[in-house]
A = this chain, B = another copy of it.
Amino acid sequence: MDAQRVECLFDRLFPLCRSIAGEGFRKSLEILHEVLPLEVQRVPSGTQVFDWTVPPEWIIRDARLTGEDGCQVASFRETNLAVVSYSIPVDRWLTLEELRPHLHSLPALPDATPYVTSYYRENWGFCLPHRVLESLPEQRYHAWVDSELIDGELNYGEAVLPGQSSREILLSSYLCHPSLANNELSGPLVLAMLYQKLRRWPRRRYTYRFLLNPETIGSLAFLSRRGEHLRQRLEAGLVLTCLGGPSPWLSFKKPRREGTVLEQVIDNLRSTGALGVAVREFTPLSGSDERQFCSPGFDLPVGQIARTVYGEYPGYHNSRDDKQFMGIAPLLRSAEEIELVLRGLECGGCFRNLSPHGEPQLGRRGLYPSINSEETRRNASSDDVLDGRQFLDAVLILLSYSDGRHSAAWIASRLGQPVTRLTSVIDRLEQEGLLVLEAPP
């Protein structure tokens, strides 16, 4: 997936009017299926998921706000942000005063159209630039929304790339904001790029689960089906969001649970200079689906990975969050950097030394120089990444600390190496029957 392919997908996806349930979501999955073959899951409207009820589907055909003077104030045809998501049908004449509670704008960004929703209480409304709102003359207005709320289904898409272990890594993003770029399409597009990359890996130690859902209610529906499975199997997870924009670095939000392997891998890559990444503490006050994955009943080791973070750029949740702001190049860079994190996770877990009573005899396995002199130790057998002594050091420290309690990421940090540089050492020790992967404690 080169930049051109990504941009082409973006241009087809951007105009669709997505919401949390309905045709917009399904059509988007269908387009993405070309590069990310997710299986569509169905959850009927009205289904109880934990404390929530799956809402009806929203059908929106058209919407328009027109003045008595014939002037068109807002139009769904021009931008699907113009109508509040999940607006019920309306066809009424109102005075400006009656209309005001149904109008939304951003005084601080007078030229931008905000993104507003009302999923769980019946309402309707229009969004428009504050400059337009302020210039509206006192007159009567015709509010017309041609929409429908029908019993249908909520959908999410799921795909699995199997690995050697049944332990899983979850990669998820969301689709539900209509014409937004960084805070909508950047996530699914990077997710697709990662799928294409991982599909080609010659070996996957873990099984990778890809998930694309409407935010919040979609991840809850997914958890109602897969939550227990994940509680038993999940090694790590990342929610992908806001992966474009001008920020030079990735930004990682830690899981609620402390001391996860995921956190240790990110810390290892950051502290050894292998990856530029800002680290945020967990908070339930803002964010994406990691808030659901990390809720206390699940407490999964799922973090969130972003680049130009929601709430930290002026275009957040309004019409200025477009392709120009997001950019295509940052998406490719995000995919590459997240792939590095996944490579770190692949070898950063908790292993167990199967020959733990004393140091195993490395010499007969060709892992230690047969002549023991300072010189030969410095030139011990190595791979193309680590020189001889570094290779031997990695062998010794992995064997010493692989007791099922210390992750290889932690061990690598103790050695001052990015954990990704230990990949070949770990592979070799696995082949020799000296190490085996375990679930973290």
Contact = CB atoms under 8 A, between A and B. Distances in A.
Contacts of A224: 357
A283 B414 CA distance: 9
A357 B297 contact: yes
A256 B400 contact: yes
A interface: dominant SS:
loop
Copies of this chain: 3
Nearest to A400: B284
A213 to B, nearest CB: 12
A284 B227 contact: no
A50 B295 contact: no
A289 to B, nearest CB: 10
A14 interface: no
A352 to B, nearest CB: 8
Interface stretch (A67-75, A334-342, A360-368): A360-368
A295 B400 contact: yes
Interface in A109-140: 114-121, 123, 125
A52 B121 CA distance: 69
Contacts of A41: none
A411 to B, nearest CB: 10
Nearest to A85: B372
A104 B376 CA distance: 10
A399 interface: yes
A291 B359 contact: yes
A317 B256 CA distance: 51
Nearest to A371: B118
Nearest to A394: B285
Given A116-B372, A120-B364, A356-B297, A284 B397 contact: yes
A402 interface: yes
Nearest to A297: B356
Most buried by B among A120, A121, A373, A399: A373
A295 B356 contact: yes
A371 B292 contact: no
A371 B104 CA distance: 10
A371 B125 contact: yes
A287 to B, nearest CB: 10
Contacts of A438: none
Given A285-B393, A296-B403, A400-B295, A355 B123 contact: no
A361 to B, nearest CB: 5
B361 A52 contact: yes
Nearest to A105: B375
B353 A284 contact: no
Nearest to A101: B371
Contact of A116 (B285, B299, B363, B371): B371
A292 to B, nearest CB: 5
A51 interface: yes
Contacts of A34: none
A285 to B, nearest CB: 5
A304 to B, nearest CB: 14
A232 to B, nearest CB: 15
The 10 closest A-B pairs by CB, nearest first: A297-B356, A284-B400, A121-B370, A297-B357, A296-B403, A51-B360, A296-B356, A116-B373, A50-B357, A220-B358
Interface of A: 49-53, 84, 104, 106, 114-121, 123, 125, 216, 219-220, 223-224, 227, 256, 283-285, 291-292, 294-299, 317, 353, 355-361, 363-364, 370-375, 393, 396-397, 399-403
